[in-house]
Structure 1
């Protein structure tokens, strides 16, 4: 089975004045929103429309390593890579960058849900192949 998955998905990040904390840079909690937006955008860009309509994603775990502060005037991109899928769970790495500078690295685990029942749901192989390279 041939995969048409992108090696990496780039999601532009919009920094809002409300994202800035009392120290003058983006509050750490905002990174979670960026990761959520980036992973969902990635899913919606690679999955067929019927799969997007039938499935929802909920984050189970985020491990964030903050490297450098982010400021209101920065141009930032979140780069998403799908690492693996196991059953109804998918694992992603998201790197937030300002140019070549790494601002944060996030490892996250997500659960795929059936949109109607909101119970865990496995994705069909052909859907998984759209965002994960085939295993050797």
Structure 2
């Protein structure tokens, strides 16, 4: 399993009216780290041939994050099946633990036709070590 992670610091514009991180911001962070992982791991030839679209997000908000806090965002691909891939993202605080966990179902598309495509071994092996 191939993990990708980064640390971020909560800024004023991340906050909502309750002075904690806005739920929409968490979704943006989930999208951002997922795309970063793809851009870092996939060779240019694969990035030119394929694109991903989101089918669904399931996000569980467990605890709030606040201004100035440093958070760890970590992602990995948990499963591939046919044309879909399940990606997990967890956002944690060093002392308070898990704040947010998401499971996102992504669909692989042919970059030219925009039609769904079975995930090839070349992509599976980049993220999960699967080669079948």
Q: TM-score, normalised by structure 2?
A: 0.87
Where do 1:1-136 residues align within 5 Å?
Answer: 6=2, 8-13=3-8, 15-99=10-94, 101-134=97-130
Contact 2:125/2:131 (CA < 8 Å) preserved in 1?
no
The answer as to whether partners of 2:79 and 2:85 remain within 8 angstroms in 1 is yes
In the TM superposition, residue 68 of structure 1 has moved relative to its aligned partner by: 1.1
Q: Contact 2:9 / 2:71 at 8 angstroms: preserved in 1?
A: yes
Helix, strand or coil: the match of 2:126? coil
How large is the Cα RMSD of the aligned pairs?
2.0
Unaligned runs of 5+ in 2: none
1:45–1:21: structure 2 CA closer, same or farther, 3 Å change rule? same
Stretches of structure 1 that go unaligned for 5 or more consecutive residues are none
Q: Which of structure 1's runs of 4+ aligned residues deviate more than 6 A? A: none
Count of residue pairs the alignment pairs up: 131
